[in-house]
Amino acid sequence: MADDRGGAGASDARSSAPATAPSTSLSSARNHQFYAVAFEENFSLRHVATFFPHARTTSYVSYRSLPGGGGMYIYAFGAVVIHDAPPESREAELNRLRQSLPKLTAQVVREEYTVAEDPAFRIGVADGVLRVDRFTLDRAGIVALTVAQSAAMEYYERIVDELLARTAGFVERLERHGSVQLRTRPLHRFIGQAITARGEVLSVLHLLDKPDATWEDPAMDRIYDDLRAEFDLVDRYAALESKLRMTQEALELLLGVARDRQVFLLELAVVVLILIELVVSVTRLR
């Protein structure tokens, strides 16, 4: 089920950047709205480019300006960000993307964020809104990347939480019965799924790499740092790693118990076979 969160509401619990903007009212500023959608699948930008021929494509993002204003960013890690576009235009672009990638899942993560522009503003986050003196295409790209990272991170958070919950079910059975199920195939399949998911989650590490543009422009660097703190990207990734570590340790324990049980059953079968052979030998001697 999609998780719709407004930018201000989403950032109330996460806001950690200082309010450095002056007292200029937001009502006098121009607001820019960013809308992010994170899908389960990663995107082949080369394939997407055939359906969006006028887009500018790099190794990790494809960007195109929209006819009615605003722009659309398509990231290789499975996130799309549209800014300054009316809802009907936004949905039309997302439907066009779904037509180009018909196997896209229906379950997505959605996130919104607001940027306020006013020449009187100093760059910074206040009241859950990023305030800038000028809104440029480069700055829009930094905001879009960070919002896309946050939406993608939430998708992975859901995956890890589900893994942790399923692992808890196996551990609970171990606690209740002192052993795992006799049939270990479900456990092995789950371990395989967990390893695959862990690889996917760890691959998002590159999402936290600082964009090259921030090294050349102090204002861009400030915007990126403020937004990364606003969305708690570093802490959330650390929490993901911690949960993955817990899951891995629990699975190693379960696998060890399952292996010990199989060894015990094998040894028991060997003992039974030896006893049967002894009984048969004694019977023949008589």
Note the pLDDT tens digit of each residue in 218-245: 888 899 899 999 999 889 888 888 888 8
Using a cut of 0.75, tell me whether the model's pTM lies above it: no
Note the pLDDT tens digit of each residue in 86-128: 999 999 999 999 888 888 877 788 999 999 999 999 999 998 9
Most confident of 6-10, 143-147, 233-237: 143-147
pLDDT at residue 21, rounded to an integer:
34
Average of pLDDT values for 26-37? 83
Q: In sequence order, which residues have a C-beta less than 8 Å from that of residue 170 and are 6 or more positions away?
A: 180, 187, 190, 250, 254
pLDDT at residue 157, rounded to an integer:
87
Using the predicted structure, report yes or no on whether residue 272 has a pLDDT greater than 70.
Answer: yes
What domains can you pick out in the chain, each with its CATH number? 7-135 (3.30.310), 152-267 (no CATH)
Q: How far is CA 166 from the centre of its chain?
A: 19
pLDDT at residue 178, rounded to an integer:
67
Average of pLDDT values for 127-143? 92
- C-alpha distance across the termini of the chain, in Å: 74
Using the predicted structure, report yes or no on whether residue 175 has a pLDDT greater than 80.
Answer: no
16 pLDDT band, cuts 50/70/90, is very low
17 pLDDT band, cuts 50/70/90, is very low
